[in-house]
Amino acid sequence: MKLFFIADIHGSVYYLKKALENYKKEEADYIVILGDELYHGARNPLPRDYNPKEVSELLNSHKDKIIAVRGNCDSEVDEMVLDYPMMADYSIILYNNKRLFLTHGHIYNENNLPALSSGDVLIHGHTHVPIAKKVGNIFVINPGSITFPKEDSSNSFGVLENNVFFIKNLEGNTFREICFEE
């Protein structure tokens, strides 16, 4: 199974279209959205081509392939226009005998780890900074933001295939990766 990860869309139809082009190129099985889908947030400027209505329509066209969690900028009103659930603070996927704990990152993160077993994986967004590392015996991944990258990082997404998590820029070039083999 191949999973495609995006976080922090913040209502940008421009960057969502670029991400979905990569989803198609990657031929991934599912899209995992790590929160902050429609609203840009009070601390962010308006993103390029800010259009939450069109973003919701694009995401709804993939509703049967989306696994999503709530970000700190997401609300119940957003879920009313999206045709898939996205208000849970976290979700869990079992992947090759590992738990993938999916969350936005404003509650659970490297500094506030959920209860995970050795070798499990915490995958979150929120900081807009891509990371792929091991903290103790837990893998911690952030694919970065497709819309508002921070700390001189690229607009980015993640791909998980065969126990390797790749972080790629929107041109599809890998710039970080981590293998989940212990």
- Quote the CA–CA distance of 39 and 28 in Å, as a whole number: 26
The DSSP call for residue 120 is -
For residue 42, the model assigns a pLDDT of 84
Nearest Cα neighbor of 132 from 169, 150, 158, 111 is 158
For residue 144, the model assigns a pLDDT of 98
AA identity, residue 55: V
The CATH number for 85's domain is 3.60.21.10
Give the chain's domain count.
Answer: 1
Sheet with 138-142, strands from edge to edge, namely 90-95, 98-103, 121-124, 138-142, 131-135
Instruction: Give the residue-averaged pLDDT of 160-179.
Output: 97
pLDDT tens figures, 116-154:
999 999 999 999 999 999 999 999 999 999 999 999 999
Q: Which residues pair with 157 in a beta bridge?
A: 168
Are 93 and 83 in contact by the 8 Å Cβ rule? The answer is no
Sheet with 156-161, strands from edge to edge, namely 66-68, 30-33, 3-6, 156-161, 164-169, 174-179
pLDDT tens figures, 23-67:
999 999 999 999 999 998 888 889 999 999 999 999 999 999 999
What range does the domain containing 117 cover?
3-179
Backbone angles phi, psi at 129, to 5 degrees: -120, 120
Predicted TM-score of the model (pTM): 0.96
For residue 150, the model assigns a pLDDT of 96
User: To the nearest 10°, the Cα dihedral for 117, 119, 127, 52?
Assistant: -90
